Amino acid sequence: MSEEQSNNDLHLEYRFVDHTFKMDYVLRRIEELEREHFGLMVDRLDETHTQYEDWYSAVKEVMRELDRVKYIYKQLGGTFGSEIPGIANA
């Protein structure tokens, strides 16, 4: 089975999930990821700490996921600065 066929098997026509819900959902995901990143930065480990590599990997994973979700948000037509009061850039 090709990747395209596999992706088609995963597609669902949403009947109750409208565009506004999708935008709000993705914005909440971005908010969660930013909070997670902030928490990791508050608990930043020294490079000599035994768990530094795990901490560093967690930070990088959150950043990758944040980039992915921001991309989805932009694909849905979202722009940063107008949807989130008090936030001028992202």
Burial class, 47, CB count within 10 angstroms (exposed 0-12 / middle 13-18 / buried 19+):
exposed
Residue 6 confidence (pLDDT): 65
- Confidence check: pLDDT of 90 > 50: no
In the block, which residue shows the tokens 């909440």? 28
Q: Which residues contact 28 (CB under 8 A, 6 or more apart)?
A: none
| Cβ 21 vs Cβ 73: under 8 Å | no
Average pLDDT of 2-19?
A: 81
Q: Where are the domains of the chain?
A: 16-90
2 or 36, which is more confident?
A: 36
Average pLDDT of 31-38?
A: 98
Decide: pTM greater than 0.85. Answer: no
Average pLDDT of 62-85?
A: 87
66 or 79, which is more confident?
A: 66
